[in-house]
A and B are shown apart, each in its own frame.
Chain A
Amino acid sequence: MIEFRGVNKWFGALNVLKDITLSVEPGEVVVVCGPSGSGKSTLIRCINGLETIRDGDLVVDGRRLGDPATNMTLLRAEIGFVFQSFNLYPHKTALENVTLAPIHVRKIQRAEAEKAGRELLAKVGLADKVNAYPAQLSGGQQQRVAIARCLGMRPKIMLFDEPTSALDPEMISEVLDVMVAVAEEGMTMMVVTHEMGFARKVAQRVVFMDAGAIVESGTPEEFFSDPKTDRSRAFLSKILRH
């Protein structure tokens, strides 16, 4: 579903992605973790073309990125992206946030899109917030609307960029619960997060990155109980300390 082969990316002189080779199968849930600045976010932002790669191959859903024949707008419609800072449209209600792309990109009838949108908002536990504006919602509620907004497009892949990092602690679990439900429905997911409980629960694989390179990759069980490298051990001891 997602295939990185020898991918490199530079920001100026800084090699932010170093020789990334990684393959994600359909239905697989991969958690990406690592210290800040290690290139995790950049890695998943490349998948829907929010960042461009300098060399190597990146094939998503059978389409090669950077290939003139690949229509990025069409490809992006198949990929949901959940941001750390939610990025809901502040001038639109929760329901309008969810139905905007289905109506304009998928050309679904408004009534039909609204019906689907209400169902999705109910699914993320926000049936009563359909007409609320983002500013009237808590962080956790906004992030759940953002997830519903992605699901409204019926994507093949969902990418999460630190979805709970901007949330107050008591709101983290309500968002993780929704993500677990999405994962259990068989969605292909790549999740940048330090929520190790989530990783243990649903991830088939944990990828550990440091300084732009994939340092270690394995099942959550292997990674947490028996990290192979000094860097991953140091990282785990820091995030699991408290």
Chain B
Amino acid sequence: MIWQQLQSLVGSYPLAVRGLGMTVMLSLISLVLGTLLGFGLGVLRTGGNRLISTAIGTWVDLIRGTPFLVQIFLIFFILPELGVELDAFTAGIIALTNLAACFICEIVVAGIRSVPTGQVEAALASGLSRWQRMRQVVLPQAMRIVLPPLVGQYVLLIKDSSVVSAIGLTDLTRVGWLVVQRVPNGLLVFFLVGLGYFIVCYPLIMLARRLERRMGAAHGEVQL
């Protein structure tokens, strides 16, 4: 019987590849967009304008304080009520990008705040503009703090992308649901689904660990 199940699983191979492709695509697009947006929000939040800073802070808290599944449902089901038609893929990208941006914003803010005040004062005193101070002095130093948790966040993002199966996107998790209807062995099917995610995430976990070690070593040399 297990032999039959395995044969049937092999037959689902193209579906699995499609699912994995969807998961990677969703993650990659929202990871790139979320990183750009997250850095932008982080820089703005520390920029000194209290109104902008509060607005971003409130939004980040809202997103961090609500389940991702609920956010996806809100975007996918509520926006069309307001006249914004979205296909599931776009809705998934928007939800994931927004989630990533909020978490990355927090990481970037922590990195920027870790740069000693004296550095900003030195840049200020030599006449660098706000953007030049950020670009030349603050961000390069903040990156040491930002990089390891940033890569860690990518891992979380890839795993969170499984939630988009709830709005009907055929990602790796949904492929699991589809296959398990034909091959009644949930343990085996979802073991393979889990393995698929792990294969994508593990290199990133290793990278985060290496970065952390390297940044730690580099920090030993830096006099603050």
Contacts and interface: CB of A to CB of B under 8 A. Distances in A.
A76 B130 CA distance: 13
A48 interface: yes
A209 to B, nearest CB: 21
B136 A104 contact: yes
Contacts of A4: none
B119 A150 contact: no
A153 B126 contact: yes
B38 to A, nearest CB: 22
Contacts, number: 68
Contact of A83 (B122, B132, B136, B223): B122
Contact of A105 (B119, B122, B127, B221): B127
Interface string B6-28: 00000000000000000000000
A81 interface: yes
B121 A77 contact: no
> Size band of the A side of the interface?
20 to 34
Interface in A41-94: 48, 50, 73-74, 76-81, 83, 85, 87-91
Nearest to B125: A81
B96 to A, nearest CB: 32
B211 to A, nearest CB: 16
B83 interface: no
Nearest to A49: B124
Nearest to B126: A101
B209 to A, nearest CB: 23
Given A104-B132, A105-B132, A90 B125 contact: no
Interface string B130-150: 001000110011000000000
A72 to B, nearest CB: 9
B121, B136, B141, B223: most-surrounded residue (chain A CB, <10 A)? B223
A112 B223 CA distance: 29
Contacts of B221: 133, 135
A138 to B, nearest CB: 11
A87 B122 contact: yes
Interface in A172-192: none
B222 interface: yes
Given A50-B124, A87-B119, A100-B136, A73 B129 contact: yes
15 contacts: A50-B124, A76-B126, A79-B125, A80-B126, A81-B122, A81-B126, A83-B118, A89-B119, A89-B122, A89-B137, A90-B141, A90-B222, A105-B128, A149-B126, A150-B126
Chain A to chain B: the 9 pairs with minimum beta-carbon distance, closest first: A77-B127, A87-B122, A81-B125, A101-B126, A87-B118, A105-B127, A76-B127, A90-B222, A135-B221
